[in-house]
Chain A
Amino acid sequence: MTLARRIIPCLDVDAGRVVKGVEFAGLRDMGDPEELAARYNREGADELILLDITASRDGRATFLETVSRVAQQLNIPFTAGGGIRRLEDGHAVLRAGADKVTVNTAAVARPELISELAAQFGSQAVVLSMDVKKTNAGWEVFVRGGAESSGRNAAAWAREGVSRGAGEILLTSIDRDGTCSGFDCGLTAAIAAQVSVPVIASGGAKTFDDFLAVFGEGQADAALAASIFHTAEHSIGALKTYLAGRGVPVRLSR
């Protein structure tokens, strides 16, 4: 009896469509969020994450509508976020059908946001998302989609987030994101050793062995990927069968 390592596909949405950024330049259309969600639910995804990457505030209603439509497709846990600034934003996302909410930039600016959400909805509903980059100062947290340094040390911020009530850490390596060079196992293991909550590794996934490594030396509890699943380059089922054959505890039956 073992807690399974989770495979989590992520949908970045803009104006109701799933998109993929190509090195922060153009956004490429990757499909319809409902269709992709239904496919991942069927293929054995352990959870789904939906992130609003719309820059403007007026995209909010569209995003909530997408959350609600995606929720209808799922019988697995569902996390949504992007642009969550206030308690009410989190409430709106949960009311639309998400089980958990992620916070990032606004939590760095005002860490109390984490405590407020956890007090209201419970730690199990609050995911602290952090985008991390290696600098001369070590592993540093970046905000605004990875564009701006926050000056915070990643391990210290992870510890603070958890002490404020975050129930999970979604850890993205900016250095690896979109590079297809594998997860940053060193970063993931360093953060996992610092906190008592599950860590979801993100950024750089390309091959099945990348997942094997992040669950091994990376000490990750879950691994997230986007484009490799969207393009059907890999099926989630095949990935899980591969991992199970190499001793990683995964959920195979649906």
Chain B
Amino acid sequence: MKVSIIDYGAGNLPSVERALRGLGAETECVTRPAQIAAASALVLPGVGHFSAFVAGLRERNLTAALRDAIARGVPILGICLGLQAMFSSSEEAPGERGLDLIHENVQALPSTVKSPHIGWNQLRRLRESVLLREIPEGAHFYFAHSYAAAAGEPHTAAACDHGFPFAAVVEQNNLMAVQFHPEKSGEVGSRVLRNFLEWAQ
């Protein structure tokens, strides 16, 4: 199947692209609204700063196209900042608006824990998860972030604890997102991507 990877100007696309191709998917990097409108599956990777991310989407006129595609039921996988962008706003960039598909705020990790949360951590499953199919309990995933969305109903399928329980896997209809980097999480990460591709097919 063909996956359209959204290029907002600052993400680490090559590793995501390589991981998806390694699983047999055809990939294209998209920068224009028309390409998003024509996509059958989308991946929104992201690293860096929330404001640069949402501004990058806005400057390329991709925000509305993305919201439309998600409203039409096109499968989408957000990665890291791509998960946070699904929310309304972030403490990292007060006043900036995210894609606002989940009406909650992304928060800074508290000063009681090491931040950024960098390294391999485990998940706590809150319910049946499409993305975690066939992945053993206790598997580790690679995280690298300083902000996170609090785990909550109905969006969070699996949480991770670092300072507070945060949304590590979001599954809400066709909207899927992970706070960790599946493309950097070894074989279990690759399985997450494969699960997304199989489900999106």
Contact = CB atoms under 8 A, between A and B. Distances in A.
Contacts of A137: none
Nearest to A44: B186
Interface in A70-91: 71-72, 75-77
A76 B183 CA distance: 8
Contacts of B120: 3-4, 6, 46, 251
B189 to A, nearest CB: 7
A97 B119 contact: no
A242 interface: no
B140 interface: yes
Contacts, number: 99
Interface string A1-26: 11110100000000000000000000
B48 A121 contact: yes
Contacts of B111: 196
Nearest to B142: A77
Given A71-B15, A99-B12, A198-B119, A254 B186 contact: yes
A198 B144 CA distance: 11
B2 interface: no
Contacts of A2: 121-122
A254 B49 contact: no
A124 B114 contact: no
Given A168-B118, A221-B119, A124 B47 contact: yes
A1 B160 contact: yes
Contacts of A3: 117, 119-121, 162
B47 A254 contact: no
A96 to B, nearest CB: 9
A197 B116 contact: yes
Interface residues of A, number: 33
B118 A99 contact: no
B170 to A, nearest CB: 18
A250 to B, nearest CB: 9
A254 B160 CA distance: 19
A68 to B, nearest CB: 9
Given A3-B162, A77-B142, A121-B47, A99 B15 contact: yes
A4 B114 contact: no
Nearest to B81: A122
Contacts of B10: 121
A196 B112 CA distance: 9
A76 B186 contact: yes
B184 A77 contact: yes
Contacts of B145: 124
A4 to B, nearest CB: 4
Interface string B141-174: 0101110000000000000111000000000000
Interface string B179-196: 001011111111000000
A6 B119 contact: yes
A29 B140 CA distance: 34
Contacts of B161: 1
B115 interface: yes
Contact of B189 (A46, A75, A196): A75
Nearest to B140: A251
Contacts of B146: 123-124, 167
Interface of B: 10, 12, 14-15, 18-19, 47-49, 111, 114-124, 136, 138-140, 142, 144-146, 160-162, 181, 183-190
18 contacts: A1-B124, A3-B117, A3-B119, A4-B121, A4-B140, A75-B184, A75-B190, A77-B181, A121-B10, A122-B49, A124-B118, A124-B146, A196-B114, A197-B118, A198-B114, A198-B118, A221-B118, A253-B139
